[in-house]
Structure 1
Amino acid sequence: MTRPPQPEPSTVVAATAMFVEVLVVGIGFLTGLGILAAAIAGPDNIRRVAPAAGTPLAAGAALAFAYALGILIDRAADTALAPARRRLRVQSFPTSAAYAQARLKLAESPALVARADYARSRLRICRGWVLNSVLLTLATDLALGRYPVEHRVLLLATATVLGVLAAVGFYLSWRTITATGYSKLAIQTAPAALPVPSQPPAPAQQTP
């Protein structure tokens, strides 16, 4: 009995996943920009604009702007990490042509494509949040220095340490996912080993 073909991943699902990824990155960067703007404006100016910022119109505009920012930050992070990505790719694929050929072979298996898309989804979030972590750390430190808060030194040290750890953690996660993805792609698209032909049994020796 023949097995039914596996369904291909829905393009709608893939598009929705990418939209969510971009939005997650964009919201993080927009939050950092908001904290930075609040730190620059100061407490008095923030109190004046706070009522307008809480309206539904402002929330809708912020969501749309966050998505646009997500696209920009994703491309910026990909460009910034391109040298490290190329070094990781060379470990599994010596040439760009070999990598392109492997990608074509991967497209022939919908199940493997779905797994690769899931890995790329995590990869995009991690690389975007490398930049987000840097911005959020700088913006938070500036805001803590501008606003009257208790235990400022302790809060500054805590925010800085947590921000550095987050940036390093996202970068290491991106690096691990990228290296693993290249390694798996090389294994999954490698030519199958040729079977060794079985040797015919030796004829039995007849005793005189």
Structure 2
Amino acid sequence: MTGPTQPEPPALAAATAMFIEVLVIGIGALTAAVLLLIALIGPTTTAKLAPVAGSSAATGAALAAAYALGILIDRAADAALTLRRRQLRTRYFASNTAYAQARLRLADVPALAARADYARSRMRICRGWTLNTLILTLSADLAMVRYSFEHRPLILCTFTVLGLATTLGFYRSWRALTETGYRKLAEQTTTPTVTPPVPTQTQPSSGAS
């Protein structure tokens, strides 16, 4: 009696990469949520809850929350950038059908498909962190406003400027990766039109035999 069929290595690798990708996005969202909570409850309550945060149960809950938030942020960022993504796609594909057909043709070439998957993974991380860095900047600003420390105005302004600059950097990276992905997909799946050579005609000899 044969045992259950094991998943193919490429499928398992893709699932692992997707899990890590969502987790990377979710960690940023969870950090922003913690900063927002700290800003809301204040320093006294934060000091009381600090020992609980280091427990094993809290670590497991944080991992689960990070994964769930990663899915949420990924979908929210995708929705926010949908219009821009469609504008970039129309530069290389006339319709969604043409794009889907190109994806199917690329899947027939495993090496090119693997490179495209890696590029899309980087694109999704940049897309998620575009929203992450914006939320992190706002939540960190709220937390710094709530707490008293030296040079707070300078640190607050510096962190805000750096946060907004990082947000812009992630957005520009997402846009560049997205446009490059569409361009390469169009180049790799477009069937070149080859003009058949015109046969040369033998000139009749001028002399009579």
Matched-pair contact (CA < 8 Å) for 1:9–1:110: no
Matched-pair contact (CA < 8 Å) for 1:89–1:179: yes
Pair 1:110-2:110 in alignment: yes
Residue 200 of structure 2 corresponds to which residue in structure 1? 200
Percent identity (aligned): 57
State how far apart, in whole Å, the 2-side matches of 1:205 and 1:60 are. Answer: 91
Residue 135 of structure 2 corresponds to which residue in structure 1? 135
Per-residue CA deviations over 1:64-100 (Å, capped at 9, x if unaligned) read 1100110111111111110000000000001111111
State how far apart, in whole Å, the 1-side matches of 2:188 and 2:200 are. Answer: 33
Matched-pair contact (CA < 8 Å) for 1:93–1:99: yes
Aligned length: 201
Q: Any residues of structure 2 matched to 1:12-51 within 5 Å, and which?
A: 12-51=12-51
State how far apart, in whole Å, the 2-side matches of 1:100 and 1:143 are. Answer: 45
State how far apart, in whole Å, the 2-side matches of 1:132 and 1:48 are. Answer: 27
The Cα shift of 1:107 comes to 1.2
Q: 1:9 to 1:195 in 2, by over 3 A?
A: farther
State how far apart, in whole Å, the 1-side matches of 2:201 and 2:28 are. Answer: 69
State how far apart, in whole Å, the 1-side matches of 2:180 and 2:9 are. Answer: 22
Q: Which ranges in structure 2 are unaligned for 5 or more consecutive residues?
A: 1-7
The Cα shift of 1:196 comes to 3.4
- CA-atom RMSD in angstroms: 1.7
State how far apart, in whole Å, the 2-side matches of 1:205 and 1:20 are. Answer: 76
State how far apart, in whole Å, the 1-side matches of 2:71 and 2:136 are. Answer: 18
The Cα shift of 1:192 comes to 2.1
State how far apart, in whole Å, the 2-side matches of 1:195 and 1:112 are. Answer: 27
Per-residue CA deviations over 1:101-148 (Å, capped at 9, x if unaligned) read 111111111111101100111011001001110111011111111111
State how far apart, in whole Å, the 2-side matches of 1:28 and 1:9 are. Answer: 29
Matched-pair contact (CA < 8 Å) for 1:9–1:114: no
Residue 178 of structure 2 corresponds to which residue in structure 1? 178
Q: Which ranges in structure 1 are unaligned for 5 or more consecutive residues?
A: 1-7
Q: Which amino acid is the alignment partner of residue 109 of structure 1?
A: V
State how far apart, in whole Å, the 1-side matches of 2:126 and 2:32 are. Answer: 16
TM-score when scaled to structure 2? 0.91
Residue 147 of structure 1 corresponds to which residue in structure 2? 147
State how far apart, in whole Å, the 2-side matches of 1:204 and 1:37 are. Answer: 93
Residue 191 of structure 1 corresponds to which residue in structure 2? 191
The Cα shift of 1:50 comes to 0.6
